[in-house]
Amino acid sequence: MSGVLPPVGMSSPAALSEVASPRMLVIDDETLHDVFDVLGEIDGEDSVVRVRSPYLFEIGEELTVQIEHDGSVSEAVARVRAHIGPDDARITELEISERSEPRRVSS
């Protein structure tokens, strides 16, 4: 079945599963740093988010972050709650608070 395209208006299974993940950027003196690979969704105020990062932040450290998802942007505070997993696959848990109302970004 090589070379067969799906009917017009239908997506392939791969395209249906390609949903944009949220991005979380650290804000430092008005500079954005892309240091997290977000694992899952960011539900809202007081949610816990799991991320991977090449950096090991201190437990209790608070970071000002920008959250981008589905064409909207908001700012929040992310407090480092824990580091879990083995050293070579460390996951960091961040508690999100003080999240601003999402605003649409024009392209």
As a dihedral over the C-alpha atoms of residue 62, residue 68, residue 69, residue 71, rounded to 10 degrees, the angle is 160
What is the full per-residue pLDDT of the chain (107 aa) written as tens digits? 444 444 444 444 444 344 578 999 999 998 999 999 999 888 766 689 999 999 999 999 999 999 998 899 999 999 999 999 998 899 999 999 999 998 998 75
Q: For residues 23 and 32, is the Cβ–Cβ distance under 8 A?
A: no
pTM (2 d.p.): 0.76
DSSP 89: G
Contact 50, 39 (CB under 8 A): yes
Cα dihedral 52, 55, 56, 58, rounded to 10, equals: -110
